[in-house]
Amino acid sequence: MNEFALGFSVAALMKGVAITLVVTVGASLVAIVLGLIVGLIRISPRWPLRWLAVIYIEFFRGTSLLVQLYLWFFVLPIFGIILSPWTVAILGVGMNVSGYGAELVRAAIQAVDRGQYEASIALNFPRSGMLRRIVLPQAIRSMLPAWGNLLIDLLKGTSLIFFITITELTTASKLAADATGNYLLFFAVALFGYYFIARALITPFVRWLERRFSRGFIREVLV
């Protein structure tokens, strides 16, 4: 392993890590925002809106992420819509995960005790105020662990953006391994790189949110 190849490999690897982090953060924001919006629409009293949400969820959950990326990147230009690789990566991965996230939002909201709704109605809360001040804080608290798992899956899904010409962590590790011939080292770096990002960034962030949204709630103790 000569010094030039090693220097090239390390630089490519660092760039791949940075790209993976940027796409993960951007796609996570897209997934969270769209997941919340679509999840709320999914429980709308208006059935046409509910069905639109169902179609959105089933499309993104029922089709391959890789095929979706191909669709946005290679098929949309046929119709005159050209998106940059970065736009496709962040929006494509984020929208895919938002389909799963929307169902987490729906399930968490519907799991809130009916007494909370009845008390809100008795206090003459409007629907928007009831959701914002009473239902959503409880629902968010219960859905956070599942969202943590979903964001870790999103992180691992960013390895597919190689197919739309972006050199992320996995691809950078492959290039470094090809340049140096040390496949064990660089694929081990990739393997533990994803693990480190998940354990050092995503998991602590989700746990911090859990603690924040748990303030004011009485913990249930099973005897």
Domain that holds residue 56: 3-214
Cα atoms found within 13 Å of the Cα of residue 178, Cβ hemisphere only: 7
Tokens standing for residue 95: 């929208």
Long-range contacts of 66-69 (CB under 8 A, 24+ apart): 66/160, 66/163, 68/92, 68/95, 68/96, 69/93, 69/160, 69/161, 69/163, 69/164
Band of pLDDT at residue 213, cut at 50, 70 and 90: confident
Please indicate, yes or no, if residue 221 is contained in any of the structural domains. no
Residues making up the chain, counted from first to last: 223
Residues 6+ apart with CB under 8 A from 33: 98
Band of pLDDT at residue 4, cut at 50, 70 and 90: low
Please indicate, yes or no, if residue 99 is contained in any of the structural domains. yes
DSSP letter for 124, please.
Answer: T
> In CATH, what number is assigned to the domain containing residue 149?
1.10.3720.10
- Residues 199-210 pLDDT 10s: 999 999 999 998
pLDDT value of position 218: 52
Dihedral sign, Cα of residue 157, residue 167, residue 76, residue 84: positive
Please indicate, yes or no, if residue 219 is contained in any of the structural domains. no
pLDDT value of position 3: 64
pTM for this structure? Answer: 0.88
